[in-house]
Amino acid sequence: MEDISGRSFMNREELITALTRRGREHKAA
């Protein structure tokens, strides 16, 4: 699992996308 806190995002959309994807994976698991 990638650590989004350690990544640099160009904009807030990338951050939201990553958070959303991470949330879906966590919910599915």
Domain ranges of the chain: 1-28
Other beta carbons within 10 Å of 17: 13
**Measured distance CA(1)–CA(11) in Å, rounded:** 21
Residue from 17, 9, 21 nearest 1 by CA: 21
Residue 26 pLDDT: 74
pLDDT tens-digit readout, 1-29: 566 666 665 678 888 888 899 888 777 76
Q: Which backbone phi and psi does 11 adopt, to 5 degrees?
A: -150, 175
